[in-house]
A and B are shown apart, each in its own frame.
Chain A
Amino acid sequence: MPMGHTATEQAGSGGLTATEHRLANGLRVVLSEDHLTPVAAVCLWYDVGSRHEVKGRTGLAHLFEHLMFQGSAQVTGNGHFELVQGAGGSLNGTTSFERTNYFETMPTHQVELALWLEADRMGSLLTALDEESLENQRDVVKNERRQRYDNVPYGTAFERLVAMAYPEGHPYHHTPIGSMADLDAASLEDAREFFRTYYAPNNAVLAIVGDIDPEQTLAWIEKYFGTIPSHDGKRPPRDGTLPDVIGGQLREVVEEEVPARALMAAYRLPHDGTREADAADLALTVLGGGESSRLHNRLVRRDRTAVAAGFGLLRLSGAPSLGWLDVKTSGGVEVPDIEAAVDEELARFAEEGPTPEEMERAQAQLEREWLDRLATVGGRADELCRYAVLFGDPQLALTAVERVLQVTAEEVRAVAQARLRPDNRAVLVYEPVQGAEQADAEADGDHDAAADDNDAEGESAQ
C-alpha cells in the first residue's frame, strides 16, 4: 500500500501529529499515535449527508445510518452494539448535512474488533438488510423526531430557520431528521440504492487515534478493508451555490404553545474552511458567545429584556455557513424591543469592530473549545476525518487553532459588516398561545433551562 507523508509536529497543534495512507481501493486512512491512555478511537466518515438526499426522500441518510447498526454478513442483529459494548467500547453514528460518521472508542487491545466490524458493514450490509429492520428503525427514527423536535417547545425552530435561509430546492433546505411523510415513504429499495451509491471505500476516510502500533494497525486495515471493491456510483450533491447574502429580510411568525416569546434569526455566513469563517466565528463569540458577550450584557444584564441571548455557528463547507441568533424574552417584553436592541448592537459592531480585550477573550474561548475537542481520542479522530473529507487534508486539523488566533480585529469587523445585516437574515418569531390551563408555577431540574441547546450537528443512532 502506498504510504503517505509523515507530518512533523506543528506549533499550536497540542502535540498532535498524523500520518496519511491510501488503500488500493481508494480508502483514505489517517493514523495518530498517543500512548498516554490504553484506548483508541476508530472513526469512519462517509462523504454523504442529508444534502445528497432528493425531494421526497428527506431523512434517508439518517435512517440509513440506523440501518448500519442492524447487522451485516458476519454480524447478526444488534451484534455491532453487543460486540463493541461487550469489549468495553463505546460507539455511535451521526448524520449531518455534509457527512455521516461512525465511531468506536475501544480499549487498546480491542481495536482490531472495531476494524473488523466497520469493514463487514462497509462491504456486506445488503446481505443482511431486510424489511423487518427497516420497519423497526423507521419507527425508532420517527420517535427520535418526536422526542427531539415535535414534543419540545421551540423544537422545530432550527428546521424552520434552515428552510428560510436555504431556499426551496436547495440541498440544505431540509435538515437531516427529514419529514414524517418522507420517512414513511422510504422503501427497502431506496435504502439499498443509497448504500450502492454512497457506501464505498473510495467515498470514506478512516481515522485511528490513540494507543496504536501504526504498522500493525495498517496491516489490519489492509486485511479487513483491502478487498472491498470500490465503485464510482456516487452522485455529487446538487449545487449548493448561493449568493453571499439572502438579499432581503425573510420572516416567519409562529403561534404556538411555548413558554415565552422568542426572537431567532439565521444569517448566511462564509463557507467553512475559509479565513472569513474563522472571523465570523470570532464575531459571533464576541456578540453572543457567553456571559461577557455584547448581547448578553445588553439584553440580559442591562436592559433585562431577555432570559437568555446568544449566537451559535453551524459551519458548512458546501453552502454558506449559518449563524443562529436565539433570544428568549423576559416577562412581557415585546419582540420589536428586542429586535431594535439587537440591530443597534450589530450595527455598532459592524462600525467599530471588536475591542482588543474582546478579541483576546473570544480567541481564548475558541482555543479552549478546540482543546476540549482534542482532549479525547474520539474528538481528535473526528477532527482528522472532518478535514480529510471536507477539505481534502487532515493535516489542516493540526493548525486549526493557529488560524483562529491569526485573524485580526479588522477582519472580524469586516465579516460582521458584510454578513450580520438585516437584509441577510431569516427571522423567526415565536408568539405564545395559551393552551390548556396554566400550570402551577414550579419547576425542577438542572440549571440553564432557558438556554436551548444550539447543537445542530445532526442525528445519532443512540
Chain B
Amino acid sequence: MSDAATTMTFHPQPQAGAARPWAFPAPERTELSNGLTVLRCHRPGQQVVAVEINLAAPLDAEPAGLDGIATIMARALSEGTDKHTAEEFAAELERCGATLDAHADHPAVRVSLEVPVSRLPKALGLLADALRAPAFPEGEVERLVRNRLDEIPHELANPARRASMALSKELFPAESRMSRPRQGTQETVEGIDAAAVRAFYETHVRPSTSTAVVVGDLTGVDLDKALAETLGAWTGGAAERRPMPPITADDTGRVIIVDRPGAVQTQLLIARIGADRHDRVWPAQVLGTYCLGGTLTSRLDRVLREEKGYTYGVRAFGQVLRSAAPDASGGATGAALLAISGSVATEVTGPALEDLWKVLGTLKEEGLTDAERDVAVQNLVGVAPLKYETAAAVAGTLADQVEQHLPDDFQAQLYARLAETGTVEATAAVVSAFPTDRLVTVLVGDASQIEEPVKALGIGEVRVIQG
C-alpha cells in the first residue's frame, strides 16, 4: 500500500480571517411590584429557555445542628404546591418538556428551569407555585431526608467527593459552615423535618431578596405578562440582607492522606483560598491559573500527562466560594478556592507530586513567557462566543454575578481586562495564588503505598486518616 503522506498536496497553515465582533450579552434589569429582581436576555435561536432563580438562603443561615436543611428545602420546593401533589407536580413539569433542578451552596439556593420556549408561560407558572406556595408535605420531606441519608455513602465512596470533603474540614476553622459538608452529615440530616423546612423557607425565601434570570429566544413571548401572572403573584415582606461572615483558612503546607487500601489511583486535591472576582487581581489570576493548569497544553499537563503519562489530566482552577460587595473601606470580603485536582496512578504518586511542585517552583523562578500569555488570552477571550452559545450558559453566568454581588456587565468587562493583562501581572498572580509552602494537599489513595514516598518530598507534615 502506498504511503498516503507522500501523495497529498500540502499547503501552508492558513491565516485567520477578520474576526466578527461578539460581546457578552447585556441583560435588561427590572423589578416586579413584589420586589423580585428580573434580568432578561434575548438570545436569538435558543429555543430552550433557561430560567435561574437566586434565593438569598445561604448555608450559614442554616440553624445550628441542621446542616443540610437548605438542600432539603431546595429539593422539597418541587414536592407539591397548593395546586398539585408531588407526583402531579413532577408530571406537569415533564408535560412541558421541562427540567427543574434546585440546589443549595454557600452563597444561595439556586433553582434552574429549562423549557422549550413554546411552553415557557406554563412552566413559569409551575416554578412560581413552587416558590410561592410549596406544600412541604410531611411524608415527602421525610422521604427526601431518607433519600439524602442514602446518598451519603455514595458520596463518601467517590474519591473526588471524599477529597473535597476532607479538604473543607482541614482548610476552614471548625466553627465555619464552610468546614462542614454542604449537604449535611448523617447526624444533622436525621434531625430535619417538615416543620423545620417550612421555618427555614419562611425566614429566608421571599421575592424581595430573590432574582430571576430569563434567557432564550423570546421572540413573540410577552414576558412581562407571563411574569406578572406567575412570579409576580408571589408575595412576601422585606428583609435585611444577612451580613456575610469573613472567610478564613489555614493554608499551612501539609498533607492529609485519606486511606483507600487497594486503590489503583490517588485522587489529588491541592488547595488554599485566595482572591475572588471583586479583587482587581482576578483577571491576572484567571490568566495565570489557565497557564498553570487550564488545559492539556498548560504547564501541569505538559509534564504530568503529555511527558510522563502519570494522569489522564490535572487541572488548576479558581472557584468562588462566596462573595459580597466590598465593604466601606473598599476591601473585598469574599474568597475563592484555588485548587489543583486530578488523579494519578498509585505507584507514581510520589514522582507526580514531586513534578507538580517542580512545575510550581519553575513558574516562580522563571515566570510565564509572553507566548504562553498570548495563547492563554487568545483562548480565554476567543472561546467566549462558543462558551455562551446556549441560554443556560448565559443564564448561569448572569445568576453567578448576582449571587456574587457583581455588576451585570462584569463578564463583558472581564474580557477587556483579560486582554489588557500582561505577562508580569499574570505571573505574579499565579505565583501568589499557589505558593509551594502554603498548600493543603489531600490525597485519597492507598496509604501503605503512597505515605512514604510523599513524606520524602518534604511538602509538609503527612497525616493519614481512615477513608
The answer to the question of B18 belonging to the interface, with a C-beta cut-off of 8 Å to chain A, is yes
- Among A137, A260, A367, which residue has its beta carbon within 8 angstroms of that of B153? A260
Q: How far is the CB of B353 from chain A (nearest CB, A)?
A: 15
Name the B residues within 8 Å of A147 (CB-CB). 265, 312, 343
Name the A residues within 8 Å of B297 (CB-CB). 78, 81-82, 85
| One of A311-319, A335-343, A444-452 contacting the partner | A444-452
The answer to the question of B94 belonging to the interface, with a C-beta cut-off of 8 Å to chain A, is yes
Does A123 lie within 8 Å of B4, measured CB to CB? yes
- Among B4, B114, B155, B295, which residue has its beta carbon within 8 angstroms of that of A85? B295
Kindly supply a per-residue 1/0 record for chain B positions 307-337, scoring 1 wherever the CB is within 8 Å of any chain A CB and 0 otherwise. 1111111000000000000000000000000
| One of A227-235, A245-253, A382-390 contacting the partner | A227-235
| One of B357-365, B373-381, B425-433 contacting the partner | B373-381
Does B378 lie within 8 Å of A88, measured CB to CB? yes
Interface members, chain A 70-115 (any B CB < 8 Å): 73-74, 78, 81-83, 85-90, 105-110, 112-113
Interface members, chain A 133-160 (any B CB < 8 Å): 135-144, 146-148, 150-153
Does B385 lie within 8 Å of A38, measured CB to CB? yes
| One of A46-54, A56-64, A391-399, A431-439 contacting the partner | A431-439
Interface members, chain B 67-94 (any A CB < 8 Å): 71, 75, 78, 86-87, 90-91, 93-94
Does B265 lie within 8 Å of A436, measured CB to CB? no
The answer to the question of B413 belonging to the interface, with a C-beta cut-off of 8 Å to chain A, is no
Name the A residues within 8 Å of B13 (CB-CB). 74, 83, 113, 116
The answer to the question of A170 belonging to the interface, with a C-beta cut-off of 8 Å to chain B, is no
Does B261 lie within 8 Å of A436, measured CB to CB? yes
Cα–Cα, bound, A437→B307 (Å): 37
Chain B residue nearest to A106 (CB atoms) is: B386
The answer to the question of B453 belonging to the interface, with a C-beta cut-off of 8 Å to chain A, is no
Kindly supply a per-residue 1/0 record for chain B positions 1-21, scoring 1 wherever the CB is within 8 Å of any chain A CB and 0 otherwise. 111110111110110111111
Does B389 lie within 8 Å of A78, measured CB to CB? no
Name the B residues within 8 Å of A200 (CB-CB). 4
Name the A residues within 8 Å of B391 (CB-CB). 375
Q: Which of B162, B187, B308, B389 has the most chain A CB atoms inside 10 A of its CB?
A: B389
Does A146 lie within 8 Å of B154, measured CB to CB? no
Cα–Cα, bound, A272→B390 (Å): 28
Does B296 lie within 8 Å of A78, measured CB to CB? yes
The answer to the question of A365 belonging to the interface, with a C-beta cut-off of 8 Å to chain B, is yes
Known: A73-B10, A138-B309, A151-B265. A110 touches B16 (CB 8 A): yes
Q: How far is the CB of B450 from chain A (nearest CB, A)?
A: 14
Known: A136-B307, A140-B309. A292 touches B91 (CB 8 A): yes
Chain B residue nearest to A107 (CB atoms) is: B382
Interface members, chain B 154-205 (any A CB < 8 Å): 154-162, 164-165, 168, 180-183, 185-187
Cα–Cα, bound, A360→B193 (Å): 35
Q: How far is the CB of B37 from chain A (nearest CB, A)?
A: 25
The answer to the question of B32 belonging to the interface, with a C-beta cut-off of 8 Å to chain A, is no
The answer to the question of B48 belonging to the interface, with a C-beta cut-off of 8 Å to chain A, is yes
The answer to the question of B47 belonging to the interface, with a C-beta cut-off of 8 Å to chain A, is yes
Name the B residues within 8 Å of A450 (CB-CB). 150-151, 154
Q: How far is the CB of B406 from chain A (nearest CB, A)?
A: 23
Known: A88-B381, A445-B164. A78 touches B306 (CB 8 A): yes
Interface members, chain A 168-201 (any B CB < 8 Å): 196, 200
Cα–Cα, bound, A376→B17 (Å): 22
How many pairs, one residue from A and one from B, have CB atoms within 8 Å of each other in the complex?
313
Cα–Cα, bound, A108→B18 (Å): 9
The answer to the question of B417 belonging to the interface, with a C-beta cut-off of 8 Å to chain A, is no
Q: Which of B259, B297, B302 has the most chain A CB atoms inside 10 A of its CB?
A: B297
Known: A34-B45, A368-B115. A140 touches B161 (CB 8 A): no
Does B309 lie within 8 Å of A227, measured CB to CB? no
Does A89 lie within 8 Å of B91, measured CB to CB? no
- Among B22, B45, B183, B466, which residue has its beta carbon within 8 angstroms of that of A437? B466
| One of A273-281, A297-305, A346-354, A417-425 contacting the partner | A297-305
Cα–Cα, bound, A147→B160 (Å): 10
Does B19 lie within 8 Å of A107, measured CB to CB? yes
Name the A residues within 8 Å of B78 (CB-CB). 291
Known: A258-B157, A444-B165. A85 touches B379 (CB 8 A): yes
Does A36 lie within 8 Å of B158, measured CB to CB? no
Name the A residues within 8 Å of B116 (CB-CB). 364, 367-368, 371
| Interface footprint category on B | 35 or more
Q: How far is the CB of B170 from chain A (nearest CB, A)?
A: 12
The answer to the question of A124 belonging to the interface, with a C-beta cut-off of 8 Å to chain B, is yes
- Among A143, A368, A443, which residue has its beta carbon within 8 angstroms of that of B151? A443
Does B5 lie within 8 Å of A123, measured CB to CB? yes
Cα–Cα, bound, A441→B313 (Å): 30
Q: Which of A328, A357, A372 has the most chain B CB atoms inside 10 A of its CB?
A: A372
Cα–Cα, bound, A139→B381 (Å): 33
Does B91 lie within 8 Å of A361, measured CB to CB? yes
- Among A86, A109, A143, A441, which residue has its beta carbon within 8 angstroms of that of B310? A143
| One of B97-105, B128-136, B229-237 contacting the partner | B97-105
Chain A residue nearest to B389 (CB atoms) is: A376
Q: How far is the CB of A126 from chain B (nearest CB, A)?
A: 6
Known: A86-B375, A304-B143. A136 touches B96 (CB 8 A): no
The answer to the question of A406 belonging to the interface, with a C-beta cut-off of 8 Å to chain B, is no
Cα–Cα, bound, A73→B343 (Å): 33
Q: Which of B91, B97, B311 has the most chain A CB atoms inside 10 A of its CB?
A: B97
Known: A87-B382, A447-B103. A357 touches B95 (CB 8 A): yes
- Among A330, A375, A441, A449, which residue has its beta carbon within 8 angstroms of that of B185? A441
The answer to the question of B462 belonging to the interface, with a C-beta cut-off of 8 Å to chain A, is no
The answer to the question of A455 belonging to the interface, with a C-beta cut-off of 8 Å to chain B, is no
Q: Which of A137, A151, A443 has the most chain B CB atoms inside 10 A of its CB?
A: A443
The answer to the question of A307 belonging to the interface, with a C-beta cut-off of 8 Å to chain B, is yes
Known: A87-B16, A260-B154, A291-B94. A444 touches B378 (CB 8 A): no
Name the B residues within 8 Å of A257 (CB-CB). 157
Name the B residues within 8 Å of A408 (CB-CB). none
Cα–Cα, bound, A39→B382 (Å): 10
The answer to the question of A442 belonging to the interface, with a C-beta cut-off of 8 Å to chain B, is yes
Does B155 lie within 8 Å of A87, measured CB to CB? no
Name the A residues within 8 Å of B101 (CB-CB). 447
Does A441 lie within 8 Å of B8, measured CB to CB? no
Chain B residue nearest to A226 (CB atoms) is: B9
Does B295 lie within 8 Å of A81, measured CB to CB? yes
The answer to the question of B44 belonging to the interface, with a C-beta cut-off of 8 Å to chain A, is yes
Known: A82-B297, A364-B94, A447-B183. A126 touches B151 (CB 8 A): no
15 A-B pairs, CB-CB below 8 angstroms? A39-B385, A78-B306, A82-B297, A83-B13, A88-B379, A89-B383, A116-B11, A124-B10, A151-B159, A227-B7, A258-B157, A436-B466, A441-B156, A442-B156, A446-B103
* Extra A-B contacts (19), CB below 8 Å, given A127-B5, A223-B11, A357-B95: A36-B44, A74-B13, A89-B383, A107-B386, A126-B5, A137-B309, A143-B345, A151-B263, A227-B9, A233-B1, A371-B48, A372-B114, A374-B47, A439-B156, A442-B165, A442-B181, A444-B165, A445-B182, A447-B103
Question: 9 smallest A-B Cβ distances: which pairs?
Answer: A88-B382, A139-B309, A364-B97, A441-B186, A443-B155, A259-B153, A38-B20, A109-B17, A123-B8
